[in-house]
Amino acid sequence: MKSLSLLQLQIAVLTVAGAVLPLRDAGAQTPPPSPLGTWDLSITGNQIGLARLTFDADFTYHGYQFMRPGISSTPTAPTSDPRLTGGEVTRGGVVPTTPPSTDTGTNFIGGTIMTGTWGFDDQRKTVGLLDQITESVQLVEKTITNLTVTSSLVNGIPVITTNEVVGTTNVFELVRATNAVSWRASVVPGKKMTLQAYLPKGRNTYTGTPVTALPDISGNYIGSGKRGAQGIVEFLTIQPSFEFPGLYELTGTGAGYGVDGWVLPSRRNQVAVYMQTDRDPFPIVVHTGAFNNTTRRGSLIGKDTSGNRYSYRFVHQ
């Protein structure tokens, strides 16, 4: 299993939603605080996770993020593990999803590639506009029409009758949702950024500092803990991604299933671990929490696209 499936869950790309207002006071002597460079960011609010964003001098930005909803105090009831049914998946990139029965604006689980345009408002703050487009394969009820053919003898003559039978069935199909997103940031150049992203039903806060070199965390890991009340053990291997700087590719196996995914460490001793299994319905889980980049040990909390909670130990071997 080499890649995450674009059939099951497509890449969520953040595209430019419109132009950004330039700084109104063209004659200002002191330039606004600049966000130029690459930033290591933690996400809090409706979602929890990590991000890495690069702001370029041509007023564009790019990066990626991994996040999950915050964990409520009400535990999820144990369910049978959906990873143990049949299916197949291939790697296609950083892949997001949303829980099939929840609002994509507030319950996002997964990862996105981020691109867009930034500028300054009249209060010298850094601002940006974009659309967040998510695509996922969901179980949708559809109306189907079947033809039935019967034959009978009428006065010794064969008569063929065709009837339409209308019913419903559940099928998997692509469902697309778009959330308009704008954001505003306070920046201390080279030191600190606080960015507020305004979502349809709330906001996420991104806080962080410029990226610095981190220890190489490649190697073999054991992930262990609980999914709801069910114990799990997973054997994992991570290695640096050549396509996405700062990211690690993940592969591994659990009890009767395989996983592919990504690992994003942070200079603030945190990590986000994204996994997608190779069994239908291809659930995604995102773990986040404390992680020591030197000892390569972490204690994480996770949630998957079926709504299940995880407690998870992520330990280098």
Encode pLDDT of 94-129 as tens digits: 444 433 333 433 457 788 888 889 999 989 999 997
Q: Residue 314 above 50 pLDDT?
A: yes
- Local confidence band at 179 (pLDDT 50, 70, 90 cut-offs): low
- Check residues 263 and 171 and name the one with the higher pLDDT: 263
Residues 204 and 288 in one domain: yes
5 belongs to a structural domain: no
Burial of 199 from C-beta contacts in 10 A (0-12 / 13-18 / 19+): buried
In order, the DSSP letters of 277-309 are ESSTT--EEEEEEEEETTTTEEEEEEEETTS-E
Could you say which of 147, 172, 197 is where a domain stops?
172
Q: Which among 6-15, 98-107, 146-155, 202-211 has the top mean pLDDT?
A: 202-211
Residues 121 and 198 in one domain: yes
Residues 159 and 178 in one domain: no
pLDDT on residue 142: 67
Residues 81 and 129 in one domain: yes
225-256 confidence digits (pLDDT tens):
998 889 999 999 999 999 888 999 999 999 98
pLDDT on residue 109: 79
- Local confidence band at 282 (pLDDT 50, 70, 90 cut-offs): confident
pLDDT on residue 131: 59
168 belongs to a structural domain: yes
Q: How many domains does the chain fold into? A: 2
2 belongs to a structural domain: no
Q: What is the mean pLDDT of residues 30-54?
A: 92
Q: Residue 9 above 60 pLDDT?
A: no
Residues 162 and 253 in one domain: no
The CATH number of the domain holding residue 243 is 2.40.128.120
153-175 confidence digits (pLDDT tens):
777 777 777 776 666 666 655 55
Its domain, for residue 177, covers 12-138+173-316
Residues 82 and 155 in one domain: no
3 belongs to a structural domain: no
Residues 154 and 49 in one domain: no
Q: Is the peptide bond before 281 cis (omega within 30 degrees of 0)?
A: yes
Residues 157 and 305 in one domain: no
Residues 55 and 203 in one domain: yes
Could you say which of 172, 195, 221 is where a domain stops?
172
Residues 50 and 184 in one domain: yes
- Check residues 308 and 80 and name the one with the higher pLDDT: 308
Average pLDDT, the chain: 76
- Give all strands (DSSP E) within the chain, no chain letters: 12-16, 37-45, 47-55, 60-69, 96-97, 109-120, 126-154, 157-188, 192-199, 202-210, 219-227, 230-240, 248-253, 258-266, 270-277, 284-292, 297-304, 309-316
- Check residues 196 and 202 and name the one with the higher pLDDT: 196
pLDDT on residue 293: 93
